[in-house]
Amino acid sequence: MSKTITQLSEDFVTRFARDLYHCSSCNYCVDAVWPERGMHAVCATLEQHSRAPGYSGRGYIEAARAIMEGQALDAATLADRVFSCTTCGNCEAACPLGLRPATIGRALREELLAVDALPPALANARDTFIAHGNPYGLPRDQRRAWLPDDEPVAQDAAMSLFTGCASALPTGAEARAGHALLKAAGVTVAVVSDACCGAPLAELGLRREGEALARAAAARLGAAEVLVAGCECAAQLRGANLKPRSIVRWLCDAVTAGQVDLHWKDDVARPSSVRLVESCQHKRDGRDGDEAAVAALLASLGCVLLNEDFPNRHATCCGAAGGMPAMAPAAAARMARACLPPTGLAVSLDARCANHLQACAGEDVEVLGIASFIEHYFRVAARPVP
């Protein structure tokens, strides 16, 4: 007989009962379209994986309400729906009542774990993480392979650099490029590249285990200022009471403050245009966020951006997050291609998105992480102190 889920934890009910009974079933989180606001679709899972309403934010709210009212739901069916969410948060951005369907979907993952209903593909992903300390299943010591052998240990550096799984692995391209940019800007950092912040576990529903890893990582980052190379790491470390800045945000701020010069390289042909790809991790940042700062910096340097409305908070997810590549790899690849131009250069501020987009892009599209892009096309130098 198949397993059912018959109740929700007290914690779940306390946190979300209001949302469950305030939903007006308006369907904005399912199929709202408002081109003037950049909303061409809401849910990448509905667009590219399944049109069944049970896979939507509204579907998660209705499922949770049904369980709360005593209905027994098939655990495997609900798990397939809830774990096929990219956790992008677009449904919440669309909800006119400010409800939290994506957060409820994430919390339902924990409820399903409590009845041992993690889908097999994600159980494998969890086991891979536990065995190797990263979601790629690569050897632990490969996390530091990008770091030059002769890199001195910076004992008293004023800044720490935390390179998470996606920037340090699988190639380490973003970690290496970000570190090189800081070096070129005259900054010395203490590198922590052998720890995970726990974000990959948290998105599987193992929130507490993820938070424990975040606290352990935070304890290693003793310097006054923490820079990060991974967007999901930044969000996870904020939960451990850190206030990390991304490398690229540091660079934007340093250029604005006149501490660092950034110029196109004379010996590298400039790209005719660039498509910047939004990261769901930055969805709530608004005009003060990293993505807006990068768009302004690149525009000031004469870089032609294909998407002038960047960052669009309603842009659909590229499919890198939420366990989607493990859960439904073909759908995750379609999500990625839907975010890319047919030809040319695409750049993401999020190393995890960049890895996923690179793996899924057609041969006419080049995808770079932001640090790799800046390092390739620009010359960075500390401005001499007068």
CB of 63 to ligand SF4, least distance (A): 12
φ, ψ of residue 359 to 5 degrees: the values are -70, -25
CB of 50 to ligand SF4, least distance (A): 11
CB of 373 to ligand SF4, least distance (A): 26
- CA neighbours within 13 Å on the CB side: how many for 372? 22
**CA atoms of 342 and 61, how far apart (whole Å):** 36
Among the listed residues 296, 306, 288, 287, the one whose alpha carbon sits nearest the alpha carbon of residue 347: 306
CB of 27 to ligand SF4, least distance (A): 5
Q: Which is nearer to ligand SF4, 88 or 234 (CB)?
A: 88
The CA angle 161-164-170, to the nearest 5 degrees, is: 125
Q: How far is CA 170 from the centre of its chain?
A: 16
Q: Which is nearer to ligand SF4, 184 or 318 (CB)?
A: 318
Q: Which is nearer to ligand SF4, 169 or 324 (CB)?
A: 324
The secondary element (H helix, E strand) that includes residue 32 is none
Length, in residues, of the chain = 386
**CA atoms of 21 and 205, how far apart (whole Å):** 24
- Contact positions toward ligand SF4, by CB under 6 A? 23-29, 42-45, 56-58, 61, 85-91, 94-95, 97, 99, 101-102, 105, 317
Among the listed residues 72, 63, 44, the one whose alpha carbon sits nearest the alpha carbon of residue 109: 63
Q: Which is nearer to ligand SF4, 84 or 307 (CB)?
A: 84
Q: Which is nearer to ligand SF4, 45 or 236 (CB)?
A: 45
Q: Which is nearer to ligand SF4, 85 or 254 (CB)?
A: 85
CB of 105 to ligand SF4, least distance (A): 6
CB of 106 to ligand SF4, least distance (A): 8
Q: Which is nearer to ligand SF4, 63 or 213 (CB)?
A: 63
Q: Is 297 helix (H, G, I), strand (E, B) or coil?
A: helix
Q: Which residue has the tokens 């973003």?
A: 174
Segments of 77-162 assigned E as strands:
159-162
**CA atoms of 236 and 70, how far apart (whole Å):** 34
**CA atoms of 163 and 171, how far apart (whole Å):** 12
CB of 302 to ligand SF4, least distance (A): 35
